[in-house]
Amino acid sequence: MKIIEVNNLSKTFKVKIKEKGLKGSLKSIINPKYKIVNAVNNVSFSVDKGEIIAFIGPNGAGKSTTIKMMTSILYPDEGNIKILGLDPAKDRKKLAYEIGTVFGQKEQLWTHLTPYDNFKFFGAIYDIPEKAVEKKIEEFRVLFELDKFINTPVRNLSLGQRIICEIVASLIHEPKILFLDEPTIGLDPVVKENIRTLIKRMNKEYKTTIFLTSHDVGDIEKLCKRVIIINNGQLVLDDTMENLKYHYLNQKIVEAKMKEKVNLDDEVGITILKDKGYNLKIEVDTTKRSVADAIRLLNPDNIIDINISNVPLENIISDIYRNKE
Amino acid sequence: MRKYLFIIKTQIMSNLQYIANILLGFIGYFIMLFILFNLWDYLYSSPDELINGYNMNQMTWYVIVTEVLWMTLGGRKLCRKISNDVKSGNITYNINKPYNYVLYCLSTHLGDVVIKGIVYTFLGMLTGFIFLGSFPKLNIISIIILLITAILATTISILLITCIGLVSFFIEDSGPLYWVYSKVILVLGTIFPIEYFPSILQKILQYSPVYVVSYGPAKLFVDFSMDNAIKVIVAQLVYIIISYVLCNLIYRKGVKRINVNGG
Amino acid sequence: MLMEVKNQIKVNYLSFKYCIMREMLNKATFISNVLFMILNNSFMIVQWIVLYSLKDNVGGYTFKQVLLLWALASGVYGVAHLFFKKSFHLSEVINNGKLDAYIVQPKNILLSVITSDIEVSAIGDVLFSIIVFCVSGFTIKRFILFIIFIITGGLILTSVTVILNSLSFWFNNADMIADVGDSLMTSFSTYPDGIFKGLTKVLLFTLIPVGISNYIPVKVITEFNINLFVINIVVCIFLILLSNIIFYSGLKRYSSTNLMSARI
């Protein structure tokens, strides 16, 4: 079932160009100059119920603009969006009951209140009866292990605990879709892992569809089965994580420790990444030469130790960014 | 001394770019002047009538001068900045610097208000001329003396507000104190000349800051006399010394307190 | 519909309660803010004591009526700033892209934003207004009218402020226009209308509706007049509707934080 449908979505911004200095300021008052920025340009995609989607792209690619149009914050110039059959531009309130949002570190919580009271406040925002909220909070307390800090004022919580509370607060009304914009930015690895666990758990327990933007490859790799990449306002790639990893770039990294030196210069399909005498690191293009063939070139008897791995996702992604610019 | 002049100059330069804001800031005061002009126009049955020794032209000009002095000052911003300095502990960074904090504040803020002062004086005079169609009779010497008293008045105001800001060393929030100060100046020194108040209050006001920061210069503007000018300037000089010493005293006590408490 | 209103009120009530709780964390500051505002306003009465020592009548108002005018002025100002503080900072909210959090909630955006913070010193304004009202002559009937008028007046002031601040959706520097509008509303509200003539007077009952929010109530409380009373209520409702229409039509142009990041 398609839960999100985005068709030919476009949005432009008119940006005032301001020159520097007093003269520039006066000039821009009398004769303002504008520049049209195509923030989002003819973007289409759809999402099924229960998916975890990574929506990625470099800074300024149009990720936030797209998410904001999907959550009623911005009005699209062209194209249409259907979220659970609703149009965000027209059915803002109805849609708000169905979706949850966590936008980076924008504070939605009252810092002088405890998470418990904050959750109750969010319950009121979504018209949930008192009893039901209390039950829900209890459920979350157990499921997401909030015991340690649920009764501590938010201002005394660590950044990680705060983000966890932000996410949990946005789940109080059991949204069908959760939009997460950079949920793990600026957090330490342990907290990142906790948040990923939390996200996975709610996807599993509540079948929540998750629409995630992140610059953190770990988030994408560990959570998402599907990736949508956007750059300069345009859709660049929409594929499963597996395809992205194994087919989009047919390259393997072979690291080998050798008894004797081998000369692989000028061999088709092999790029030497590192050659430190007996330690060799090469990249094999499997469309041109199989990995087995590459190992044969090295001579199996000559190999002390070998490690064959995929190209790191990070490199793949930055490669895609670069190629499509 | 040279470093303080340099600070003033830098502040003036950086304030030049906010000229549009300064012009807009005048609108609020123009509204005030407009209302008070209407008030006097209503209260005076004829322009030559005297109320407490002032005719209508004099009353209007009096208010314009005191308002220009007041709005140029921007006292709330200054007070807030100093108490923030104190509360955030920024002020302790200044202890080891080779300048006097009070003089530093004074020169920064003086530099801040120069452009505003020039613009508001011009606009204030223009407003008065539009309302009344004439200027008070003044010659070059009296104008120079008036400018001196205006600058001294602003200096005293800055020092007194610095004192109030520095009180943050000892109490949680000096904002309310500033309120009281500003209301005293506004009510007793801006709208009416001190002749409007009961004679006992008049005697007190003669020695209060009201006399040196607003009444003195404004009275000279509407009714200039050399005798009064000398009286005002002498009083202003005395006030500068007192307030400067007071500022430094509070500053030193305050810094010591921070050191004792370990900041 | 009724349920929706009830839920909306519940959220606003909670938000107000939490704001008060937050401000009460520091009791000394809280109390001194309130008390000093009362003191601050009391100072302003001195001006009128002086004026009425010269004449018995200023702009057609007796001294008691001027007290009533002051009670209304600080009451109206207090109600608007206590309950709707953020409407006075709405252009900032719009320009800095801070509306996002309210848009994603299934509540009235405008109401949620403007009630999201309170001005503690405005409690002082409201208390002051009640004290001064009592001095100006207390009867039950007058008091009921007074309470109605500081509420409608507060709503009128808030609506005007919202309208002016909403211009930020169209113009970058609308906050300056809004500031001018606010100082016009507050400055004129503390002087009797009789001292103004001609065009000024017309403006005070139209573009700068201080006449409706403050001068009419003085007249109605002094001597009840059903027509003037109705005008006050009708204008209040009209301005609330107008402010909603303008805010929501501007919202379509809302650009969140995107404009900021694209500054050159």
pLDDT digits 0-9 by tens, C246-256: 999 999 989 88
How far is residue B211's CA from residue B205's CA, in Å, rounded to a whole number? Answer: 6
The nearest CA of chain B is from the CA of A18 a distance in Å of 14
A28 pLDDT band, cuts 50/70/90, is low
Q: What separation in angstroms does the CA of B225 have from each of B148, B203, B230, B232? A: 15, 20, 9, 11
Query: What is the tens place of the pLDDT at every residue in C85-126?
Result: 999 999 999 988 889 889 999 999 999 999 999 999 999 999
Residues composing chain A: 325
Rounded Cα gap, residues A287 and A309, in angstroms: 16
A47: closest CA among A225, A247, A314?
A225
Q: Which residue has the tokens 């108002």?
A: C61
Asked whether the predicted pLDDT for residue A216 surpasses 90, the reply is no
Mean pLDDT, chain C, rounded, equals: 92
Residues of chain B with Cβ-Cβ distance to C31 below 8 Å are none
Q: Which amino acid is at C188?
A: F
Structural tokens at position A100: 């949850």
Mean per-residue pLDDT, A37-46 = 92
Confidence of residue B84 (pLDDT cuts 50, 70, 90): confident
Check residue B46 and give its pLDDT: 86
Whether A93 sits inside 8 A of C106 (CB atoms) is yes
- Taking residues B245-256, report their average pLDDT: 90
The residue range of the domain holding B160 is 2-261
Q: What is the mean pLDDT of residues A203-224?
A: 88
Distance from C-alpha of C58 to C-alpha of C39, rounded to nearest angstrom: 24
Segment A180-197, tens digit of pLDDT: 988 888 888 888 888 899
Nearest CA-CA distance, residue A32 and chain B, Å: 16
Question: What per-residue confidence (pLDDT) applies to A159?
Answer: 86
Structurally, chain B folds into a number of domains equal to 1
Average pLDDT of every residue of chain A: 86
Of the pLDDT bands very low, low, confident and very high (cuts 50, 70, 90), residue C260 is: very low
Average confidence score pLDDT of chain B:
88
Question: Quick check: ipTM above 0.85?
Answer: yes
Chain B touching partners, 3 or more CB pairs below 8 A: A, C
Lookup result for tokens 């000028």: A266
The pTM (predicted TM-score) of the whole model is: 0.86
DSSP string, B129-196: HHHHS------HHHHHHHHHHHHHHHHHHHHHHHHHHHGGGTSS--HHHHHHHHHHHIIIIISS-GGG
Helix, strand, coil tally for chain A in percent (to 5):
35, 30, 30
| pLDDT of res. C127 | 97
A129 contacts chain C (CB < 8 A): no
Q: With beta carbons under 8 A apart, name residues in chain A contacting B17.
A: 21-22, 25
Tens digit of pLDDT for each residue in C215-227? 999 999 999 999 9
User: If pLDDT is split at 50, 70 and 90, which confidence band does A248 have?
Assistant: low
Contact state of C104 with A72 under an 8 Å Cβ cutoff: yes
Distance from CA of C227 to the nearest CA of B (A): 28
- pLDDT for A324: 55
Interval C188-214: pLDDT, tens: 999 999 999 999 999 999 999 999 999
Mean pLDDT of C131-156: 97
| Contact yes or no for A22 and B20 at CB 8 A | no
Beta bridge partners of A213: A181
What's the residue count for chain C?
Answer: 264
DSSP assignments along A74-91, one per residue: S--SEEEEEETTB-TTT-
In Å, the largest CA–CA distance within chain B is: 66
Structure tokens, B175: 């904002």
Span A33-54, mean pLDDT? Answer: 90
Question: For residue C256, which residues of chain A lie inside 8 Å, CB to CB?
Answer: 64, 68, 73-74
Query: What pLDDT does residue A183 have?
Result: 85
Query: What is the distance in angstroms between the Cα of A183 and the nearest Cα belonging to chain B?
Result: 31
B with C: how many residue pairs have Cβ under 8 Å apart? 75
User: What domains are there in chain A, each with its CATH number?
Assistant: 2-108+170-245 (3.40.50.300), 250-323 (3.30.70)
Q: Tell me how far apart the alpha carbons of residues A297 and A314 are, in angstroms, rounded to a whole number.
A: 28
Number of other residues whose CB lies within 10 A of the CB of residue C104: 24
pLDDT at C261: 41
List the Cα angle A154/A158/A162 in 5-degree steps: 50
